[in-house]
Amino acid sequence: MPHNIIIYDSGIGGLSIAREIRRTVPDARLSYACDNAFFPYGDKEQTWLKERITTYVQNIVHTTSVDALVVACNTASTLALAHLREIYDFPIIGVVPAIKPAAEQSATQDIIVLATPNTSETPYLHDLITRYAPRAHVHLIAHPELADVAERFFWDDTIDDAIITDVCARIRTYAHADTIVLACTHYIFLQKTLQQKLRKTYNWIDSCSAVARQTARALQGVEGTANEQHNTCFVSKPLKNPAHLARMKEYGFTHVHTIE
C-alpha cells in the first residue's frame, strides 16, 4: 500500500521539497500542511513557536493518517524536530542547513549562509558549522523579510527589488565566497532572481535532494496506511484566491482543507 507523507512548512517553501519527493518516491501519497496563518516562522519568539509547531502537527495527525512527516522548514526543524520525535513513532524527517556539502564543494572555503533570523541564532546551525566546516569562513546573512519576498513571488509573481538588492549587496561584501547555502526552503524560489542580480557564478546548495533521499530511506520497512485525503493541502488560513488554488494544483495538491 502506498505511503502517506505529510510535508509541513509555514508557507510555500516546502513545495520545493514536495517536488523532489514526488520524483524520489513516486508511489507515495503526498499531502501538504501549510501553517500560513502564522507565516513566517523565521521571526517568531522561539518558545511560542515551538509550542505552535507542536500544536499544528498534532492537529494534522488527528485529521489524516501519517506514515512519515517531513518538516520542510529549517526554522521548525532546528527548534522542534527532536521534540516531535519524542511524541510520535512514525518517521519524522527534518531539513537542516546544508553546511557539509557546502564545505565539500567550496574551492575557496568561503561560504555564505542565507537563513532566517531564528535559524541563524540556533546553536544547531553553529554546531553544524563547527563540525563540518571548521576550516571555512562561514558568513551568515539573515534578512527578516526575505521569506516574505519569496512567498509573494510564488503567489503573485511580484518581486521586492529593494530587498533583493540589499541581500545581494550583503553577499558582495564577501568577495572570496564561492558557495551560497539556501538555509530556508523559501529561498529556493528566489535563487534565479538572486543569481541574475549578482552576475557572478556561485555554488548554490539546498537540502531538497538530501531530504527526499532520507524520506525514501526512512520509509523502508514502514507499512503504508489507507488515506483518502492525499493530494490535500491543509492550511491554517483559508486560501480564497482562485489563482492561489491553481498554484497549489500545479504542485499536485488538488484539494484544500482548513485546519487551525
Which of the residues are catalytic? 73, 184
Burial 171-191 (b: 16+ CB within 10 A, else e): beebeebbbbbbbbbbbbbbb
Distance CA(122)–CA(155), nearest Å, equals 29
- List beta partners, residue 33: 8, 234
* DSSP reduced 3-state for 202: coil
Strand order in the sheet with 4-9: 92-94, 68-71, 4-9, 29-34, 232-235, 255-258
The closest alpha carbon to 53, from 32, 68, 75, belongs to 75
Give φ, ψ of 2 to 5 degrees. Answer: -60, 150
Q: If you search the block for the grid coordinates 522561539, which residue do you land on?
A: 46
* DSSP reduced 3-state for 181: strand
